[in-house]
Amino acid sequence: MGKKPITAKKSTPPKKDSTQTNKEQVNNTKTPEKRKITTKGSINKKKSTSTKKKEPKEKLNSLKILKKSPYLKHSTSVQKNKKVLTLKELFENNLVDKKENKMEIILTGQYQKVIELIMETDAANLTPILVGPPGVGKTTLCRYYAQIRAEITGNDSFEWLTFDESTKPSHLVGSFNPAITIQKGFLFDAFNPGPLTKAMLMGGVFLANEINRATEYTQNSLLEPLEERMISIPHIGRIKASPGFFFIGAMNPSELVGTHRLGEALKDRFNVWIELDYPKKQTEIKIIEHNNPYFKIEEGLLEKIYLLVNRTRTHHQIQIPASLRSGITMARLTGINISKNQKLNSNKILGEVANYVLAGSIQPKPGIKAKDIVRSIITQVIGTS
């Protein structure tokens, strides 16, 4: 930057030589440029300020769908002034009331038949087992049956346990509290009953979920309750089941990874074998629609969602296909994205959503990439739009 021109004093004006005159001329010529630069800088600042003001608005627009979501508890001025609840108060407020927690399911096709078979097995004092791939609704059906049964018997006792390799007999029967046991010994006061023991004492329903994932050692602990309707509790003795005790088993197909062979002795204790498969087209579409109450989508998109899921079940390169849950997930996400931006092509939205959902919900055969299969299925069903 040039120096400011030196102004002479009024009393004795100095003589200007040619060098000084040239400097003044240069400085005078630079001054307008300086102003221009300053002016441009101010314009740029104004522009950047205006763009910065727009950014929060854009962010708010992208969060509109989150604000409207019925699954979230939105903060309001009233809620902000409320007292913060302790964990104990939250626990008490959120305890599930079985009478108020009514289930509603689509009871058509194979599901209606299964409920009828379970009811007949219960009435005959027999033991059923449900066999089917993951995600066909085995657990949901058992919970729904326990609800129907409670309306008839007045007994709403329903216990269940999902088995795996780490499940031990103590997880079923119960265990002793070490602190109380040291003080009082192996008495009933020190005993914490497990879910199977609770169901037997209360004459309720017990669901052994994914029973063929348990080891043979744990499977053998079920022989006595199933055969004699009794269970042995260490240090206390044997107890018998109250009238009304009903045992239901559920398992995945034996060819799935992570399953064990069901022991012959235990297998013989199950009297009725009920097989479930993936539901028929119309039933599955109804289930998807029923589980997407807030973000409705048109029937054509529901049909494409079914086709996407169904293709994974018939694909020769897929070991474990997508379940009903994948269809429900795609329906919800597609509905949200359509409501957020109705100008976008709905097929394009579904294609993007399906790519995210199916990539993690299928298990391809060894050496094959899931993303390649998913891309191929999306192209077949939706196209390249």
Q: Report the C-alpha gap between 192 and 181 in whole angstroms.
A: 11
Strand ranges inside 107-168, DSSP E: 128-131, 158-162
CA 185, CA 364: separation in Å to the nearest integer? 54
pLDDT band at 257 (very low <50, low <70, confident <90, very high): low
Inform me whether the pLDDT recorded for 41 exceeds 50. Answer: no
CATH class of 110-275: alpha beta
CB atoms within 10 A of CB 18: 7
CA 144, distance to chain mean position in Å, is 20
Say how far apart CA 134 and CA 162 lie, in whole Å: 13
CATH class of 281-381: mainly alpha
In sequence order, the 6+-apart residues with CB closer than 8 A to the CB of 198 are 157, 159, 204
Distance CA 354, CA 209 (A): 29
Model pLDDT for residues 16-27, shown as the tens digit of each residue: 554 454 444 544
pLDDT value of position 100 = 62
What's the pLDDT at 79? 55
For residue 268, the model assigns a pLDDT of 94
Q: What angle do CA 303, 138, 263 make, to 5 degrees?
A: 135
d(CA 214, CA 175): 19
Tokens representing 73? 């508890």
Give the least confident one: 7-11, 114-118, 187-191, 335-339.
7-11
The whole-number average pLDDT for the span 221-247 is 94
User: Do 110-275 and 281-381 have matching folds?
Assistant: no
Cβ neighbours for 134, distance < 8 A, ≥ 6 positions apart: 252, 256, 320, 323
- Of 93-102, 117-126, 185-194, 206-215, the range with the lowest mean pLDDT is 93-102
Q: How far apart are alpha carbons 114 and 108 in whole angstroms?
A: 10
d(CA 100, CA 94): 12
**DSSP letters spanning 48-80:** HHHHHHHHHHHHHHHTHHHHH-TTS----HHHH
pLDDT digits (tens, 9 = 90+) for 113-152: 999 999 999 999 999 999 999 889 999 999 999 999 999 9
For residue 237, give the 3-state DSSP assignment: strand
> The whole model's pTM is what?
0.77
Highest mean pLDDT among 32-36, 221-225, 252-256 belongs to: 221-225
Average pLDDT over residues 173-188: 90
Spatial contact of 278 and 313, defined as CB atoms under 8 Å apart: yes
Mean pLDDT of the chain: 84
Mean pLDDT along residues 333-354: 91
Q: Which residues contact 108 (CB under 8 A, 6 or more apart)?
A: 283, 286
Domain residue spans of the chain:
110-275, 281-381
How many whole angstroms separate alpha carbon 71 and alpha carbon 292? 12
Quick one: what percent of the chain has pLDDT higher than 70? 79
pLDDT score, position 243: 95
Look at residue 94 in the predicted model and tell me its pLDDT. Answer: 83
